Amino acid sequence: MNKILLVEDNETTNFISKILLKNAGIENVDEVHNGVEACEYLKSTCPDIIFLDLNMPIMDGWEFLDEKESKALCNDAKIYLLTSSLHPNDKRKAQNYSCITSYIEKPLTKEKIADIMNEMA
């Protein structure tokens, strides 16, 4: 796993996620704070994994996914929804996106990172 992008508007969540990822041996982690910034990022860089929050200002996670698909940005990236939403409708909606690898409830933990790394191996 070479590069990870956090798409999350909460600075504390990003800080904790970066520490956990670094402890798991993943050094190359970037962050953006909404879907617009994520789309701009993907025009120049394609991460291996995107951790995507759903509820963000300016452009939320669903709008980002639609934009990413319509512009065919970074099609090989694995997207993990990392969200606090437990709403069954969100989980159902996530199944409509072929680019979503998994739906993970916040917070990111070392166990969740280990599971993802095992899937990628």
CATH assignment of the domain containing 56: 3.40.50.2300
The total of structural domains in the chain comes to 1
Q: pLDDT by residue (tens digit) across 54-93?
A: 999 999 999 999 999 999 999 999 999 999 888 899 999 9
Strand arrangement of the beta sheet that strand 4-7 belongs to: 29-32, 4-7, 49-52, 78-83, 100-105
- The average confidence (pLDDT) of the chain is 94
The per-residue pLDDT for 120 is: 80
Answer whether residue 94 is part of any domain. Answer: yes
Of the candidates 38, 36, 30, the one whose C-alpha atom is nearest the C-alpha of residue 14 is 30
Which tens digits make up the pLDDT trace of 105-121?
999 999 999 999 898 87
- The reply to whether 29 falls in a domain is yes
